[in-house]
Amino acid sequence: MTHLFFYLTLVLYGCATTAYLACLFRTSDWLTRWASRLLAAGCISHGLSTIHLASQAGHLPLTNMQESLSFFSLLIVATFLLFERRYKVTTLGSFVTPVALVMLILASALHGEVRQLPPILQSNWFWFHALLAFISYAAFAIAFGVAVMYLIQRHFLKAKHFGGLFQKLPSLETLDEISYRSLAVGFPLLTFAIISGAIWSEQAVGSYWVWDPKQTWSLITWFIYAALLHGRLTIGWRGKRAAILSIIGFIVLLITFLGMKHSITW
């Protein structure tokens, strides 16, 4: 059942991503509606796959890279659907759904199996840390997509190129508002995720901070987003500078998530 819903999700996300990308080049209410419906159906299927796997394992499926990639993809899609309904920004799907689809494709290429939960993960602090971290990652994925859109729209304005894509993208003010909202959600969650992770580390290895690559790069990610929000709130960092820093922050986040290993192994 888990695999059935997983591969159904893969097909639905693929179709939805194709439809969202087509929306960039073709104006069609029918296409827009179906892109959103396909993605919502994929999200439901993905949720059912995750719930079924969790019921088999007896815990949230976050204990290996395959499960983590799939969960990250699910939260990106769920967060995007919330922002799409709130701000009516269908074109954001053209920049966010490809990220979620790539995460799910990577998950499908990895081997995963339901294992007994290692003692080191039998801590509420671990689950608190992991859940907060993934929700913050999803919020930053939205900020990343918005930042890319902001730079494209700004380029059109500077070049006075008011073609079809310019008409489809939201205004710079709307993009700036969505970016701020997603960062305002993601940053506190990332902060609490790092704090709870440090508490879990103390329980697991007897030290709050061991300066392994995962913790160090997590701290670098936190400093980038802290600098972005601090600059925005104190000296009015907005526009191109904020968009570039948001893109850099998400790239560093992906390096931390995909490329850095924790010294706490299980």
Each of the 266 residues of the chain gets a pLDDT tens digit; together they read 778 899 999 999 999 999 999 998 887 888 999 999 999 999 999 999 999 999 988 888 888 899 999 999 999 999 999 999 988 888 999 999 999 999 999 999 987 676 777 777 888 899 999 999 999 999 999 999 999 999 999 999 988 887 788 888 999 999 999 999 999 999 999 999 999 999 998 888 888 888 888 889 999 999 999 999 998 888 777 788 899 999 999 999 999 998 876 655 55
Is residue 198 classed as helix, strand or coil in its secondary structure?
helix
CA distance 251 to 247: 6
What angle, rounded to 10 degrees, do the helices at 2-23 and 29-57 form?
Answer: 160
CA distance 44 to 59: 19
Q: Label residues 192-211 b or e (16+ Cβ within 10 Å = b).
A: ebbebbbbbbeebeeeeebe
User: Both tokens of residue 120?
Assistant: 């080191």
Cα 38 to the chain's mean position, in Å?
19
DSSP string, 245-262: HHHHHHHHHHIIIII---
What's the predicted TM-score (pTM) here?
A: 0.92
Comparing C-alpha atoms, which of 137, 149, 29 is closest to residue 78?
137
Per-residue confidence (pLDDT) for residue 56, from 0 to 100: 87
Per-residue confidence (pLDDT) for residue 25, from 0 to 100: 86
User: Both tokens of residue 6?
Assistant: 């997983």
